[in-house]
Structure 1
Amino acid sequence: MMTRDRRQQKSVTSQRLRQKLRHRQLIENGLRVVLSNQMLDPMTTVRISGGVVHDLPADLRKALASDAKALAAWEGITPLSRNEWICWAISVKKDETRRQHVERVCSDLKEGMRRPCCWPGCPHR
């Protein structure tokens, strides 16, 4: 017979697993949509969502458009999260650092990160 704590723990664990599965399904479904749009007409421009305060810069837009999995993850996060990523990428001073941040946005999104690590947040909102 299971104790009450054990049942609650099992319930929380199964809830987390369902959430992770749902997130993965959203990313995979988004990936299918993006891939199907690209397969229909390579000249079609795909609309990429921006943030709440910041518009999506051209270099980040290009990086996301060239990586279907990162784009699907980008569309799967909230507008506030997208705003954090944009602000994090554009807040640097050097062009080299900005290029590294743009590349890292794509790689971190593909790894499942929803917001930039160790970032105090966008000061503009």
Structure 2
Amino acid sequence: MIIEESAFHPLPENLKALLLENKSLLEKWNVLTPVARNEWICWITIPKKETTKQYRLKRLKEDILSGKKRPCCWPGCPHRNSNAVKWFRE
């Protein structure tokens, strides 16, 4: 199975495993644009707490399977979009 990459961030191992174990999720992931995939990856990897990362990984699966293209209420990847940086603390 081929997993499409994002525009900026590398695919984390926990997301790769999730995609490989769920064919429907993988198909929907591969249809997303590279920028949309980047937003999801950044959204699940940027939190500091592991519990938040795990929650977001679970939500990613639910949201993408329900047809959502981007994370809800997300100002965008601060690594790619300088306008989004103001929403994040160091």
**One fold, TM greater than 0.5?**
yes
1:109 is aligned, of 58, 61, 64, to 64
**2 CA distance for matches of 1:65 and 1:108?**
17
1:95 is aligned, of 50, 54, 63, to 50
**Alignment TM-score, normalising by the size of structure 2:** 0.85
Residue in structure 2 matched with residue 31 of structure 1 by the alignment: none
Residue in structure 1 matched with residue 27 of structure 2 by the alignment: 72
Any gaps of 5 or more consecutive residues in structure 2? 81-90
Contact 1:63 1:103 in 2 (8 A): no
Q: Which one has the bigger helix percentage?
A: 1
* 2:6 counterpart letter in structure 1: G
2:13 is aligned, of 44, 51, 58, to 58
Calculate percent identity across the aligned residue pairs: 43
**Larger gyration radius, structure 1 or structure 2:** 1
2:3 is aligned, of 16, 36, 48, to 48
RMSD: 0.8
How many residues of Structure 1 are paired with residues of Structure 2 in the alignment?
80
Any gaps of 5 or more consecutive residues in structure 1? 1-45
Shift in Å, 1:106: 1.1
